[in-house]
Amino acid sequence: MIELEIPSDLGYGERGQSPAIPGNATLHFILELIKVGEDVKPVDHKHEGPDHPFGEASPPEDDKVPEGFTATASGLKYRVTKESQGRKPNAANTVKVHYRGKLTNGTVFDESYKRGAPTEFPLSGVIPGWTEGLQLVGEGGTIELIIPGRLGYPNGQPPQIPPNATLHFTVELLEVK
């Protein structure tokens, strides 16, 4: 058996992997090597897809910008579906939102609507795609985000989100604090 202790800076860092792993957490693993196989294939964590289990390659991320969307320099794609003259948040603000998140295959992995209540959080404490994207819409507006894996969950959020999955969100920005 091997016991591993992974310091925060080599794990999830200040951001953590909400909600299961808080920011600055030291990770502890106990591993037991059961078998060494001769047919072991290297794991490719770069891609995801509905026909590919975790770690198997799928086609590279599509760089095309869907009609009606705008791409930012980071690769985030967005379109404002309900304009608002309300205040736009910055990364230091706390926001209250209703949202729905889906994978590229249409599977809904999370939504505040199903829970029956909006969600509130500091904009600096979420995935980079949300931090960037929500600054593009005003309070009272709605935005659609297509977030590449590197701006979402590069390591995935098993079992719902595979590594480097492209995420599709519809977000209603209800309040900026």
Q: Is 2 a catalytic residue?
A: no
Are residues 102 and 21 part of one domain? Answer: no
More confident call, 59 vs 111: 111
CATH number of the CATH domain containing 99: 3.10.50.40
Q: Which helix (H) or strand (E) holds 115?
A: helix 112-115
Question: Does any domain span residue 50?
Answer: no
Coil, strand or helix: which one is 34? coil
Tokens of 4: 């591993």
Count of structural domains within the chain: 2
Question: Does any domain span residue 15?
Answer: yes
pLDDT exceeding 70 applies to what percent of the chain? 79
Q: Is 127 a catalytic residue?
A: yes
Domain that holds residue 165: 70-176
Q: Is 153 a catalytic residue?
A: yes
Are residues 140 and 85 part of one domain? Answer: yes
Q: Is 110 a catalytic residue?
A: yes
Q: Is 169 a catalytic residue?
A: yes
Question: Does any domain span residue 37?
Answer: no
How many other C-beta atoms can be found within 10 angstroms of the C-beta atom of residue 176? 19
Are residues 17 and 92 part of one domain? Answer: no
What rounded mean pLDDT belongs to the chain? 83
Q: Which amino acid is at 98?
A: H
pLDDT tens column, 73-103: 999 999 999 999 999 999 999 999 999 999 9
Q: Of these residues, 78, 127, 143, 161, which one is catalytic?
A: 127
Q: What are phi and psi of 157, to 5 degrees?
A: -140, 70
pLDDT tens column, 63-78: 789 999 999 999 999 9
Residues in the chain: 177
Q: Of these residues, 78, 146, 147, 169, which one is catalytic?
A: 169
pLDDT at 43: 47
Q: Of these residues, 12, 147, 153, 161, which one is catalytic?
A: 153
